[in-house]
A and B are shown apart, each in its own frame.
Chain A
Amino acid sequence: MLGKIWDEHEILRHPSGPSLLYIDRDMIHEGSFHAFADLKRRGMKPRRPKQIFGVADHYVPTLGRTSSAAASPAIAHMIDTFDENMEWGGVRHFGLTSRAQGIVHVVAPEQGITLPGLTIVCSDSHTSTQGALGAIAFGIGQSENAHVLATQTIWQLRPKTMRVTINGRLGHGVTAKDVMLALIARIGAAGAGGHAIEFAGQVVRDMSIEGRLTLCNMSIEAAARFGMVAPDETTFAYVRGRNYAPNDGEWEGAVSHWRSLVSDADAEFDREIVMDGSDIAPMVTWGTSPEDALSIEDRVPDPASFESADKRKAVEKSLDYMELAPGTALSGLKLDKVFIGSCTNSRIEDLRAAAAILKGRKATIPAIVVPGSTQVKEQAEREGLAAIFRDAGFEWRDSGCSMCAAMNGDVVGPGERCASTSNRNFVGRQGPGARTHLVSPAMAAAAAIHGCLTDVRRI
């Protein structure tokens, strides 16, 4: 699949190796201001503005929908600059009050901007999310972004391929998030470096688009260049009728082309990983890298149990930061906060899973839900999920990245311990000194009820 989509977008190959790839769509967010500054310095404008879409997400307030609600003037300035740049570049964009506003990787599939067979870039590492629909989607830096805006192309070396096959079925209470944490724990945070992952197997075929988006989202946490899932009937049903998808007249042609992109039965991959879905338990991270993940039934590991000296050192450091002693049971670990949100787990299905656990119960610690987009928010309100969250004592916020990266001022305080449905438990990611435990939405809900890490299967 990678090869087919790649070849279809290769304008030329430079004698020294990299391909000049045509980029179908580029997504822009507030952090892209460097790329716009670069264009302005050169006296250029975006070359193909209709193939560029902007959405404000990283810095947006989640309590209020104007930039004046932002946590600080500097943050408000980021949002205003974004709007100005979009106007200047003639780029279609979804501002704070748009119904289409949300986290870029939630919005792009939702609006039909992400489609099978496309090349999509965004200056954000989790662009890998969008490969879930059968696209080549990857994160780029601001220099590359300026290059795409100016030329609608990018120079890229073709990555190696890795197939991750997940056979069987997932157990009760086990989700796409747990699959990814289990995979990253197994192959390491650098495990898929230089590779494009294609997810396959029964578990993936049975999975909704929401779940597949979660898989591909976190493939970057294993250092993969792209994450992809072959498009199938589930994909086509999801895509049909979305705003920027092919219209009814174009539909049949598009689908038949998309079907042809699927990997052939005898396709060879540079690496193969096979997992059994029924072996995976609800997972939780204990350290400061997503590879530091274990089943909720496990205990904090002893640094001495790791083979490599580097890893032993790293584990000691992260346990120190996390203020955890080796041998502590993960289940029952006291928390200060719960965050449900981020491009990993803020789609409607994630909110449904959390609400199913919370229904008729109360959170015993501060907890917030930040829907991935305004559309998700409205849908959740219609479905009665918002009421369940509110009744349980959760704060029900407006959409954005929020506490995932703490750029908008929604932070976990120094020393506080947070169960989070986001994707990175890095030192300081959710605020200086914050301690993050990555979990699925259902596990986050269970944690909120008990005020500690809790096996959702026991609820």
Chain B
Amino acid sequence: MKAFTRETSTVAVIPGVNCDTDQIIPGRFLKADRAQGYGQFLFHDIRRTDAHELDPAFPLNRPGAERSTVLLVEDNFGCGSSREGAVYALVDHGIRALIGPSFGDIFFNNALKNGLVPVRLAADQCQSLAEHLNRFPDAEVTVDLAASELILPGNLGRHPIIIDAFARECILQGLDEIEMTFTYMDKIKAFESDRMASHAWLAR
């Protein structure tokens, strides 16, 4: 996982409440090996017109959008399927942080495991940010994970980034969770042997 401390970027606004992971990456691309990069599948179908061409109206297709490493999204972003491919597509496209009122739970966890920072911001603040970006498309936000702070443009102020401390620590250091958990292996094994003693049928 790539460590994340602070990111300043312009913002692409992705419209739509309940934007599910099928929209972020359609199921038919999930067969692909990660090595070939998942960025090409990001929002694959909703980025395109019915004639399968890139739709110039879609935010990520606008000139300059490739510079944005932060997306502003709507309520319940990433709901639906648990496919981590949705996070791979965002990460491989170069997205480093998301700002939105709420996220699908599994998606949220998947994002954290891949160093993609989902920032929950109150719905009215998101709305104000969207309006601001509408007027000033080049405005920048700063996601300062080290200071647990989201800095919005104009007079929109600073907002706390609330991510559980454990995940935050892992992301700040780009820490590998499996290796970290292995440091508790004695405790895991002790717990396990107790459990197996009373639930022998579990591991038959």
Contact = CB atoms under 8 A, between A and B. Distances in A.
Interface in B94-153: 102, 104-106, 109-110, 113-114
Given A75-B31, A123-B82, A426 B184 contact: no
Interface in A269-313: 289, 291, 310-311, 313
A379 interface: no
A150 interface: yes
Nearest to B111: A141
A310 B75 contact: yes
A428 interface: yes
Given A16-B169, A22-B191, A426-B23, A314 B76 contact: no
B18 interface: yes
A427 B22 contact: yes
Nearest to A35: B84
Given A16-B165, A141-B109, A289-B18, A31 B83 contact: yes
A168 interface: no
B117 to A, nearest CB: 15
B81 A125 contact: yes
A17 B177 CA distance: 15
A157 B81 CA distance: 20
B22 to A, nearest CB: 5
Interface stretch (A210-218, A230-238, A245-253, A368-376): A245-253
Nearest to A151: B181
Given A143-B177, A426-B80, 15 more contacts: A20-B188, A22-B192, A34-B34, A123-B84, A125-B80, A141-B113, A150-B182, A151-B181, A152-B188, A157-B164, A189-B18, A314-B18, A406-B28, A427-B45, A432-B45
Interface of A: 11-12, 14, 16-18, 20, 22, 24-25, 31, 34, 37, 42, 48, 50-51, 59, 74-75, 77-78, 118, 123-125, 127, 138-144, 146-147, 150-153, 155, 157, 189-190, 193-194, 223, 225, 244-247, 250, 254, 289, 291, 310-311, 313-314, 317, 405-407, 424, 426-429, 432
27 contacts: A11-B184, A16-B165, A16-B169, A18-B164, A24-B195, A125-B106, A140-B106, A140-B109, A141-B82, A144-B110, A146-B178, A153-B188, A189-B79, A190-B18, A223-B76, A223-B79, A223-B104, A244-B204, A250-B201, A254-B201, A289-B20, A310-B17, A310-B74, A314-B16, A407-B28, A407-B30, A428-B26
